[in-house]
Homo-oligomer: A and B are copies of this chain.
Amino acid sequence: HKVDMKSLKLYQFYHSKPFAWLRTGVIFILHILAFFEFPSSLSWTSDIRRQDERIQLPCGVTEGIELMCLLFLLLDVVLKTRIYGYKSLYLNKWLFVEIVVLCLSFIDWIVSMSVGCGEVVRIRRMIRPVFIIQNSSLMKKILNSLRKTMSQILGVLLLMALHLYVFTLLGMLLFPKPKDNDTIHDINNLGELNDILIPSNSSGNGTKPSESTYFRTLTESFMSLLVLLTTANNPDVTLPAYTRNRLYAIFFILFLTIGLYCFMNMLTAIIYNQFRDYFKNSMQSSLMRRRLGQRAAFEALKYKSMQLNHSSSLQDKTSEDSQREGVSSRDLKVVISRAKIEEEIKVTLIDTIARGFTQDQIMTWINFLSVLKMTEMEKDHKEKPRIRWFTHHPRLVALQKIVCHKGFSYFGNVMALINVILITIELATEYDKSLSSSKSALRIINFLFILYYVVEQSLIVICMGWRRYKYSWSNIYDGSIVLILLLSELVTVALYGFPFFSQREIHGNFTLWNIVRVINILIMFRLLRIIWHIQAMAIVAHTLLDLVKNLQSFGGILIVIYYSYAMLGMEIFQNKITYPTKLGNESLAVCGTYEQLEYWANNFDDFAAAVVVLWDVMVVNNWFVFLDAYAKYTTKWSYVYFIIWWLMSVVIVLNLFTALILENFIMKWDKFYDHSRSEGRRR
């Protein structure tokens, strides 16, 4: 990119933190709009029986915000092309895509406004997530990796398709009995048995499909096996054949073993294999870039200091010091003190230099690197604030010792555990009374425990001092929960009196019911602190928390896919399912249908509902209910939408997630065990 002064300033501005935050914020607002745009998700339920409750924003509100966001993004693109030059348009594919998307969005927006928000297809919503991808380099990398591994994935998918195809035809050839039984005269032993074995009482209420519905036609057979591959109709689809002849179970077991357990795991293996390298490479290359930058800084400083030496101190040319390749530590200090980095890091850096080197010592590249490595150290090595002992009160010191002892913390955990167990017992035995009466055993228990918690926390604050208290996250977590607990309990006491001797017993009050629930839930969250005290759990929880940090880019991809596909689903299936006003018993009587299961709330009528449907399909269980329902209310082509989503979500995204977890977890785990082993050796 250009390197003149103006461009550099622009570059600095563009890559400054506030601007990046602003950009992220704008993209966030643009995407969150989906919940408020026309079929807004602002209703308590997505149940189609209650669709009229929806809050609708007047036309132009969301569109106005959208326009502002789009204009900002346009500015962003213009800046980018100014900085990187117009040539980058041809080279940077993603930037080009972003510009196309922006143009399309503006055109679509104008169309939308000109017809008064009443248009049918809104493409701009579907292509919005391009901005998310464009804003994150890590996501682009993941997508690139996915693209590279696509040929291998396609190999497995092809084989899976062949597997499915062969078994579809096999199923059609194996299972159905000849339809016209009466014309068969030459019945052999097997046939005879079959006829006897199927009693006619399956006609009870006609809910049970015979195997002819599973394997009679090509589409049915294929869909049965595709759904079986996701295990969603497992024992049901096997039953008609299995009831006839138990050997048919082998067919299904073979099908699932190859399809589900082999091919699916192979897909995981392929994606994992790809991303194992990806993580390694991306980390190596980021380290590489950092080193490169550091080396460049070193060379620049060296050059500068050599120039300085030449100009200012020409007299001592004989001293070879300046000729030795290196940087004066004084120069480095000056540069560091001027740099835009956190104050804390600055202090440590200058300290390190002062400790290791004299004022004018020349630093070699190795020295230079060792100093800069200090910035890479983890920050959590900062000092623990000391406890200030109340030395002039011997009794208080004893109390302090008790409170600061490990045992006190364990005791607190045991108390929290006992509290939760008591809640469990109360809920299990006296469910209704516990929650809706102002004078229940549960309320008394919780009152006493909350009293204890308050005392415990204040003791800790007093004994340890505020600085030491707020040093630990777990204390802050505990403290804030106890604070809310105290407030809620005060409110209940104020409203309904003490639980022991309330004059009037209030029963079934809704506010009381809610507050009691909140108190119980908070107490349960307080229990979670015991995780950190049980080692086996602590390791797992720790790695899990670390995972969350590393999975941001994956989360981004998840959002992108969900967003676009939910929008597409809304365009296709919106308002397609309607609640029949006169619902006869006949459609409710067929078990396992959308209507009988009352899936009315799962539809594509607004964005939030569409996301939940896609989630349900990703979880895969009972997804054929949606398949069947949408095939019934629209056409059979709706299968394609759901199958593609299944392929995308289950085959790609979930395997990607598994791969990321495997990679991250194994890395952390190894590091943890290496660390603990080396610590054990040190002791």
Q: Chain A residues in contact with chain B, CB under 8 A?
A: 41, 43-47, 49-50, 151-152, 154-156, 158-159, 162, 166, 169-170, 172-174, 176, 178-180, 183-188, 190-191, 193, 196-197, 199, 201-202, 204-205, 207-208, 216-218, 231-236, 239, 242-246, 249, 253, 256, 260-262, 265-266, 268-270, 272-273, 276, 420, 423-424, 427-428, 431-432, 435-436, 507-511, 513, 517, 520-521, 524-525, 527-528, 531, 534, 536-537, 539-541, 543-544, 547, 583, 585, 588-589, 591-592, 596-602, 608-609, 612, 615-616, 619-622, 625, 654, 657-658, 661-662, 665-666, 669-670
Contacts and interface: CB of A to CB of B under 8 A. Distances in A.
A622 B45 contact: no
Q: Which of A190, A256, A622 has the most CB of B within 10 A?
A: A622
A549 B205 CA distance: 49
Contact of A536 (B46, B151, B597): B151
Q: Which of A179, A534, A661 has the most CB of B within 10 A?
A: A661
B235 A662 contact: no
Nearest to A160: B540
Contacts of A49: 199
B45 A261 contact: no
A669 B217 contact: no
Contacts of A261: 654, 657, 661
A172 B231 CA distance: 29
Contacts of A273: 665-666, 669-670
B246 A41 contact: yes
A553 B311 CA distance: 78
B218 A428 contact: yes
A568 B323 CA distance: 84
B178 A517 contact: no
A427 B222 CA distance: 13
A266 B622 CA distance: 25
A620 B234 CA distance: 8
Nearest to A235: B616
A658 B166 contact: no
A566 to B, nearest CB: 13
B536 A155 contact: yes
A621 B246 contact: no
Contacts of A268: 658, 662
B599 A427 contact: no
- What are the 7 A-B residue pairs with the smallest beta carbon separation, nearest first? A155-B536, A591-B591, A183-B508, A234-B621, A269-B665, A218-B428, A265-B661
Q: Which of A510, A592, A669 has the most CB of B within 10 A?
A: A510
21 contacts: A44-B246, A45-B243, A45-B244, A162-B531, A169-B524, A180-B436, A184-B510, A204-B585, A217-B431, A235-B625, A239-B598, A243-B598, A253-B615, A260-B619, A261-B654, A262-B661, A265-B658, A265-B662, A266-B544, A272-B666, A273-B669
A50 B201 CA distance: 13
Number of copies: 2
A383 to B, nearest CB: 31
Contact of A184 (B270, B508, B520, B662): B508
Q: Which of A151, A235, A508, A547 has the most CB of B within 10 A?
A: A235
Contacts of A187: 510
Given A199-B49, A427-B218, A599 B272 contact: no
A661 B591 contact: no
A300 B509 CA distance: 92
Given A187-B510, A436-B180, A544-B266, A155 B517 contact: no
A510 B190 CA distance: 10
A495 B216 CA distance: 27
Contacts of A427: 169, 172-173, 218
B218 A424 contact: yes
B423 A158 contact: no
Contact of A234 (B208, B236, B583, B622): B622
B588 A204 contact: yes
Contact of A432 (B179, B510, B536, B665): B179
Given A44-B197, A174-B517, A598 B245 contact: no
B423 A169 contact: yes
